[in-house]
Structure formats: C-alpha cells, structure tokens
Structure 1
Amino acid sequence: DSIFPLFIATGLPPGVGGLLLASILAATLTTLAANLNATATALTTDFYVRFRRGAGSDAKTVACGKGLTVACGGIALGLALLFAHADIQSMQETFYKFLGVLTSGVTGLFLLGMFAPRVSGTAAILGLIVNYAVCFTLAFCPLPWKPHLMLYGVAGLSACLITALLASAVWPNRKSTAGWVWSRRAAGKQEDPHAG
C-alpha cells in the first residue's frame, strides 16, 4: 500500500508531488461528500419521512438530513481512526473483504427483484440472512481453508440467490409483478419506437 506514496515522495519533481497529493485529496473529498449526502438522503426519506408522526415541515426534514449527515460523518471518522490503529497488513485487501461482505446481499436482493417474480419478501430476507452468515463466516471466522477474499462476495451472492429461490417454493410470491420484473415475454411485448 505504501508504494504510491513512496513514488510521490521520491520519484516526482518538487511541486508535482504536492499537486498530485492535492488532487487525490480533492477527489477523495468529493467522493466522501457525495456518499454522505446520499446516505443521509436515503435515511431521511426511507425512515424519517415514512415513520414521522404528523405532517412535518420541510425545515424539519432538512434539519434531520443535516443531522444524519453529521452522524454519518462521525461514524466514518470513527471507523477511519479504528482502521488507522488496527493491525492491517493491506488496506486494499481489507477494502475488498468488506466490499464483498457488505454489498453481495444488496446485489442479491436486486437480482431477485429484477429477475425472479416467484420470490417473495420472506424468501428474499431469508436469502439475505444466509448471505451475511456465509460472508461473515468466510471473512472473520478461523477456517481450515478459505477461498480468496475476492470470492467472499461471490459465495455470499450465490448463497443468497439459491436460498431465496429454494425458499420461494415454501413461501411463493402471490402478488402480481407485471411491469415490475424483467422478463423476455414483457420485453417482447414492447413496441419498437423505430418500427414504421
């Protein structure tokens, strides 16, 4: 992980290293700002607006969003300090491990929602639980043999899809999904806008 900072310090002429470092920090700041904004907006609209009592004003909603932005920033800062003092060999490997563990379940739910009309909410949640059980076991439990860390997400995603599809035999979706789920039949019925 230290090869790039070493190159900046020793391989670049004076001034260029500072410009490169400033551009990296600026790119990081814009990414963090967008992530904090998106997280706070999702939490505000999905939880605060949905479950608040009474009508509520826009000013209160904005204040809640700002407070959640500060809270998410504080959590991110705390995690950064925790990682800075942890015994981590490679930050890139740790990033890929957490990426596989945390995002494979969301990917599984998305794929089930788009392509599996028979899967109910109960079956999807069961698949999500099994996904996280598999991912956390692979990532954090001592096992005699572990796959490569890039495969944690693949294993969790596979577990999510298989579990949800099998559970849908017990708890099938009884609601109509017409227009909500992608299928070849639905795609074939769409009119070609270029057809004359």
Structure 2
Amino acid sequence: YTIIGGMKSVLYTSVLQTPILLLGSLIILVLGLKALGGWDEMMRICSIEKVNEYGDTMTNLIRDNRDPQYPWLGALIGSAVIGFWYWCTDQFIVQRVLSGKDEKEARRGTIFGAYLKLLPVFLFLIPGMIAFAIHQNAIAAGGEGFLPMLANGNVNSDAAFPTLVAKLLPAGVKGLIVCGILAALMSSLASLFNSSAALFTIDFYQRYRPDTDPKKLVRIGQIATVVIVILGILWIPVMRSVGDVLYLYLQDVQSVLAPGIAAAFLIGILWKRASAQGGMWALLSGLIIGLTRLGSKVYYSNAGVEPGVDGSLFQYVFYDCNWLFFCGWMLVFCLAVGVIVSLFTKAPEPEKIQGLVFGTSTPEQIAATRASWNKWDVVHTMIILGITVAFYIYFW
C-alpha cells in the first residue's frame, strides 16, 4: 500500500493502526501484572537483579558511570544526540510535521505525539520487566522458565513481548495483540519506505533530471521503494552478526548514524557563517567514521574478541569504547570538521539563509511564529516535561 498510495496512505493507516497497538499493549500490561501479582511484586523481583558490579539493578535508569552498557553520563550525552537526530531531523519523523497545514497544527501535532511517546514506557518497557519477573518466579519454582533461551544460554530478551502474548492471552485477544504488533511494524516500515523513496526521487533523480514528467517521478519513487525493501532484507545477516539483542543493535547503528547528521543540522541552524561545504563534510566525516565503527563491530564480534581486552588503539576507539560516549565524541569531531571547513570556504549569501538560521528571521516571520502558540501549548509542554522528570525520579 506504500508503493501504490504514497504518503497519504501511510498517514491514514498509521491513524487506524495506532489505537489497535495501544489497546493491545494495555491489555498485556494489565494481564501481565495480574499474573505476576501486582506492581510491587514486579519491582521487588527486578530490584534484586544486579546489572553490574557497582550495585545497580534492573530498576535503576541512572547507573554508575563505569557501567559497560549505560553509564549515566554517556546516556545523557548519547541519548541527546540520538534524540535530536531522530526527532528533529529524520525524514521519517519530520515528514509528519511538514504535513501540518501551518505552524500551529505542526506544533500541536508534535505535542500530541509527545504525549503518545510517554505511553511506550508503560506499554513496552514495563511488560518487559513483567516477563523477566515471571521468568524468575518460574525458575525459582523449579520450572523451565517463562522466556525461551538463546543457544549461548542467555535469555532471549527479544522474545519477551511475543511470549507474554502467547502464554497469557486467550484466543481472540491474542489475535488482537498480534494485529497490534504487525500494525507497529507496518507503520514503521511504511514510513521508512516512503521517506527513502521521496528523498531519492526529489533530492537525487529530480535534481539531475529537473524536466522529468511528474507521473514518471511517481513511478521512479515506486521502483525506489521496491529496491529499498530488497536492500533491507539483504541487510538482515549484518544485523544478526552485530549482536543477539535487537534493541542493542538498533542503538549501535543509530549512535553512529546520528552524530554526522546532527552536526550538519546544528551548525546550519545555529551559525550564520556555516557553509554548504561545511555541512557536507560534517555529513561525510560522520558517514566514514560510522561505517568504520560498524564494520569494526562486525569484524571483532565475529572474531570472538571481547571488549576491553588489550588491543590496538584502533580497537579501543572503534570497538571497545562505549557506544554512548563514542556517539558524543563523534558529534564533537563532526562539528569541528563542519566549523573548520566553513571557515575556509565562502559564507552563504544572507538572502539564501533568510529565516532558516537563528538570528535571520524577519519581524514578520517572528510575529507569525509568536501568533501560532498560546499559553496552552506551554502548559502541555510543562506537563510532558513534568511526567518525564517524575519517571526518572521514580526509577532513579
């Protein structure tokens, strides 16, 4: 339906699929807590499980800075970089904002999206903790355990949600949840395919062939979508070679993809002196470093090298270094490249960046932006930030 219907079909199906996903996940949450014995029982079991040698448990979001996976400073820096890239620059997200009729619609749609973004904590994170707690209870009772195991003896974390669906839900409701999972998958893939096809068609094909008939451009976009689907399937073996846990793979890839793009956007938005060449080299340096890091992960993982084992400086930088800290240092490097190249190249013409860079908006543009929001936008923003802070305090 993405190939045939384009962006409009993606948006309409997302609107229809989202309630199914939210309802299904809510049922899982309620039945999971009921099967376990309540929230307190979940917190008790998860707070016993140590995740590192520094006293942190599964219920601690803020971990010791020496934690191998999620040091608190690294999480603060790396999450900010990845978050800025994904939510503020990725075509996957931005295309939805740009579909708004005006600034007011776009802003309020974003605020509504922020409310929805609070829900996955309770609909996906908490069910994962429930699955772990039920698994621990089953083992303590002398059973086989609730979750399936991997070949290396570790629990299959990726199977937590499907296992809850398979073992806790009655027929009918189980089908609804499966529809919800498929809806989430379809929505994400549809948006990805549409964004990628649009970028290729408009930013590459049409630029080199500006006189192309619009109907032909649509066909080119459809062909590009098919090609992207095939490339995605071919990439699966690379995913499997990076790690056992899908979430960790996704974060690894995002942590090397985000800094170069974030750097290019940041200098372009915040600095009037930034040149097109500076932005391009910030992107290219990020691409080169990111591919080197990803290739090193594949190579060293398949070679059986353990992180932290004595090795070369290259191994330390591109394999041993924590992915969150690497993301932060990579952003600094890409920013430096963008700034240096900009200083040695011609500055953009003022009229070309009018209204696109902070400090260049006309009085009319500033007035139009100010008129597009009121006190309720501020109130809802503060509510969202307050809930986020409360969540961090509770799981500190």
Q: TM-score range by the shorter chain?
A: 0.7 to 0.9
Letter in 1 for 2:196: T
CA contact (8 A) 1:139 1:149 kept: no
Equivalent-residue separation in structure 2 for 1:140 and 1:33 (angstroms): 28
Which amino acid is the alignment partner of residue 79 of structure 1? W
Q: 1:165 aligns with which of 332, 339, 356?
A: 339
* 3-state DSSP of counterpart to 2:273: coil
Change (3 A) 1:49 1:84: closer
Tell me the equivalent position of 1:71. 227
- SS of 1:39's partner is helix
Shift of 1:68: 1.0
Q: Is the CA contact 1:100–1:153 (under 8 Å) kept in the aligned structure 2?
A: yes
Query: Structure 2: which amino acid aligns with 1:27?
Result: A
Matched, 1:6 2:6: no
Query: Is this contact kept in 1: 2:259–2:327, CA < 8 A?
Result: yes
Q: CA 1:178–1:72 in 2, change beyond 3 Å: closer, same or farther? A: same
For residues 186 and 67 of structure 1, do their structure 2 counterparts lie closer, same or farther at Cα, with a shift above 3 Å needed? closer
After superposition, the Cα gap between the structure-2 partners of 1:90 and 1:38, relative to the gap in structure 1 and judged at 3 Å, is: same
357, 361, 373: which one pairs with 1:181?
357
- AA at the equivalent of 2:182: L
Q: Alpha carbon RMSD of aligned pairs, Å?
A: 2.8
Q: Which runs of 5+ in 1 are unaligned?
A: none
User: Which deviates more from structure 2 when the two are superposed, residues 160-169 or residues 92-101?
Assistant: 160-169
2:267 corresponds to 1:131: no
| Identical pairs, percent | 24
The Cα shift of 1:175 comes to 2.3
* Distance 1:129-1:51 versus aligned 2 partners, 3 A rule: closer
Partner SS for 2:356: coil
What does residue 253 of structure 2 align with? Answer: 98
**TM-score normalised per structure 1:** 0.81
1:135–1:155 contact (8 Å) kept in structure 2: no
Q: Aligned partners of 1:48 and 1:130: how far apart in 2?
A: 24
How far is the alpha carbon of 1:134 from its aligned partner? 3.6
State the alpha-carbon separation in 2 of the partners of residues 132 and 84 from structure 1: 18
Listed as ranges, the gaps of 5+ residues in structure 2 are 1-157, 301-314, 373-396
**How many residues align structurally?**
191
Instruction: Give distance in 2, aligned partners of 1:36 and 1:89.
Output: 25
Shift of the alpha carbon at 1:161?
Answer: 1.0
Pairs within 5 Å for 1:1-196: 1-52=158-209, 55-80=211-236, 82-83=237-238, 86=241, 88-141=243-296, 143-144=315-316, 146-176=320-350, 177-183=353-359, 186=361, 190-191=366-367
